[in-house]
Amino acid sequence: DIQLTQSPSFLSASVGDRVTITCRASQGISTDLAWYQQKPGKAPKLLIYAASTLQSAVPSRFSGSGSGTEFTLTIGSLQPEDFATYYCHHFNNFPLTFGGGTKVEIK
Amino acid sequence: QVQLVQSGAEVKKPGASVKVSCKASGYTFSSYYLHWVRQAPGQGLEWMGVIDPSGDSTIYAQKFQGRVTMTRDTSTSTVYMELNSLRSEDTAVYYCARGVVRGLIANWFDPWGQGTLLTVSS
């Protein structure tokens, strides 16, 4: 199984900060990676797919990059509504797996 | 719009079974694979398996092999996830989610259902 390791697992940031979250895969997965945002009590929401393609209607302050085993999600200027937990997800082969999550909290 | 609506919360005793439904609307049901993902309280996301609504074929995560069954009813555009031999560790929110790319089985997910809370307790 492909393991996805996210870092950090928790970060504290202020509105306006630039935030970067990393996701490392235990083996190469090309660009078969997606990012989701989840708020408490809600289902995850797709932000980025194919490592760097922004989902429709997602603000452009979100961006993704990477290929192979290392990927990043960047929030260019953190907004109040961005405080949430973020998950990476690979779909390279079965079983599909998710990273452990990164919780972004207000400093 | 594309929508997945799941059945309501369940409370079950250890050893029992549960069957959660996920009704799809707003698209051609048979054209997109449907996945099940669960999330234990305060924990991350765990993929359980996928069903092909057009042919009823399934792939399950090894962890759930022998305990989970995914089925579909094309007449109502509904998929079901049945989990047997429940234990307290199965307490979680269960989500269905649609694969985005038509006909692609290993896929990213959008949209997701609203989630169904399963509580397993004696």
DSSP string over A39-93: -TTS--EEEEETTTEEPTT--TTEEEEEETTEEEEEESS--GGG-SEEEEEE-SS
Provide the shortest C-alpha distance from residue B109 to chain A (in Å): 7
Which of B3, B45, B50, B70 should one mutate to test binding to chain A, selecting the residue with the greatest count of A CBs within 10 A?
A: B45
* Contact assignment for B108 to A94 by CB distance below 8 Å: no
CA separation for the pair A90, A34 (Å, rounded):
6
CA separation for the pair A86, A7 (Å, rounded):
11
pLDDT in tens, B47-100: 999 999 998 799 999 999 999 999 999 999 999 999 999 999 999 999 999 998
Total residue count of chain A as it appears in this document: 107
Closest Cα in chain B to A47? B110
Mean pLDDT of chain B, nearest integer: 96
pLDDT at B101 (0 to 100): 85
Closest Cβ–Cβ partner in B61, B95, B108 for A89: B108
Residue B120 has pLDDT above 90, yes or no: yes
Write out residues in chain A with pLDDT < 70, as ranges.
Answer: none
Burial of B113: CB neighbours in 10 Å, binned 0-12, 13-18, 19+: buried
CA separation for the pair B103, B60 (Å, rounded):
18
Provide the shortest C-alpha distance from residue A100 to chain B (in Å): 6
* Contact assignment for A98 to B112 by CB distance below 8 Å: no
pLDDT at A10 (0 to 100): 97
A55: which chain B residues are within 8 Å (Cβ-Cβ)? 110
* Contact assignment for A94 to B106 by CB distance below 8 Å: yes
Provide the shortest C-alpha distance from residue A28 to chain B (in Å): 16
- Residue A50's alpha-carbon distances to A3, A60, B9, B24, B43, in angstroms, are 18, 16, 33, 25, 25
CA separation for the pair B100, B86 (Å, rounded):
31
Please enumerate in sequence order all residues whose Cβ is within 8 A of that of A81, keeping only pairs 6 or more positions apart, or say none: none
Q: How far is CA B70 from the centre of its chain?
A: 7
Give B82's strand partners. Answer: B19, B69
pLDDT at A27 (0 to 100): 98
CA separation for the pair A74, A72 (Å, rounded):
6
Q: What residues in chain A have their Cβ under 8 A from chain B's Cβ atoms?
A: 32, 34, 36, 43-46, 49-50, 55, 87, 89, 91-101
pLDDT at B105 (0 to 100): 80
**Coil, helix or strand at residue A14:** coil
Give B76's strand partners. Answer: none
pLDDT at B40 (0 to 100): 98
Closest Cα in chain B to A43? B114
Neighbours of B81 (CB within 10 A): 27
A57: which chain B residues are within 8 Å (Cβ-Cβ)? none
Which of B110, B114, B117 should one mutate to test binding to chain A, selecting the residue with the greatest count of A CBs within 10 A?
A: B110
